[in-house]
Amino acid sequence: MKRRWNIQIWLGFLIVLAAPVTYVAIFIRYPVTRDFPWATLLIFALGLALIARGLVRARREPALYRGRIAAPVIMTLGIAILAFFSYNIFIVTRQLPASKGAPQVGQKAPDFTLPDKDGNQVSLSSLLGSGTNSALLIFYRGYW
Amino acid sequence: MRIIAISVDPPETNRELCRAQGYTFPFLSDTNAAVIRRYGLAHENAGPGGSVISRPAEFLLDATGTVRWVNLTDSFTVRARPEDVLKLVDTLKLATPPANPGAPTGAVAVPPGS
């Protein structure tokens, strides 16, 4: 008897691959799915669950389904991709230095003068307009 | 209320970014990270070629330049959300200029987003 192609393994693997791809392409743009990547973790869970079902099927009914060798390999690969993603999202992004000496609430923000996008020198005090404007000061990593 | 952005990017990069994104608020270039260091925000060896860049941070300053709120994130993917900052601006009454010292602050209705 010809054994059936164990589609759950491969479908699950495709879903696992889609998890980091959709995170970078879509979910990273929205704070709700970026700050904690629940949507991506759900996609991972779905993919790994499918692979697991395929794995169980291949072991229980080896006469009926293929994938006795492929399933554990794909499962290991899927878990490795999840581990790599989690390492980057939960550990690498948090490797920020302590902000020693950052101005604290109640302290005066140090004045500075820097060039704007047109090369004009602009100072914080001039932007505050001698006490007429409040300000939101955003420091960002830059696009290099 | 002023929005001021600062990074190590040179003015050309900022010009390109502002043009592409339609940003109209000032983008300032701290190419040698002097201000970033002064604000205690240097992230050494994190930029291209092991250069120093800024760790993400947001400060709300009142009109006297005093820090009223600061956000030093633990993760560079997690930043202050615009709606939360707007709420803080309301709570701290930062949108109202202190034009009339002695007058009760927040007495003037300011449309949101101004």
Residues 66-105 of A with CB under 8 A from B: 89, 93-94, 96-97, 99-105
Q: Sort residue A119 into left (φ over 0), alpha (ψ -120 to 50) or beta.
A: left
Q: Which of A102, A110, A133 sits opposite B63 (nearest CB)?
A: A133
pLDDT in tens, B40-58: 999 999 998 999 999 999 9
pTM flag (> 0.90):
no
Between CA B94 and CA B86 the distance in angstroms is 10
Lowest mean pLDDT across A118-122, A130-134, B16-20, B89-93:
A130-134
pLDDT in tens, A30-58: 989 998 999 999 999 999 999 999 999 99
Instruction: Kindly identify which residue of chain A lies nearest to residue B6, measuring between CA atoms.
Output: A139
Between CA A127 and CA A131 the distance in angstroms is 9
- The answer to whether the CB of A98 falls within 8 A of the CB of B42 is no
Strands B42-43 and B53-54, by their bridges, are: antiparallel
Residues 62-91 of B with CB under 8 A from A: 62-70, 72-79, 81, 85, 89
Nearest Cα of chain B lies from the Cα of A26 at a distance, in angstroms, of: 14
Which stretch of DSSP H or E encloses residue B67?
strand B67-72
From residue A132, how far is each of A64, A67, A123, B78 by CA, in Å? Answer: 78, 71, 15, 31
3 state DSSP class of A140: coil
Q: How confident is the model at residue A100 (pLDDT cuts 50, 70, 90)?
A: confident
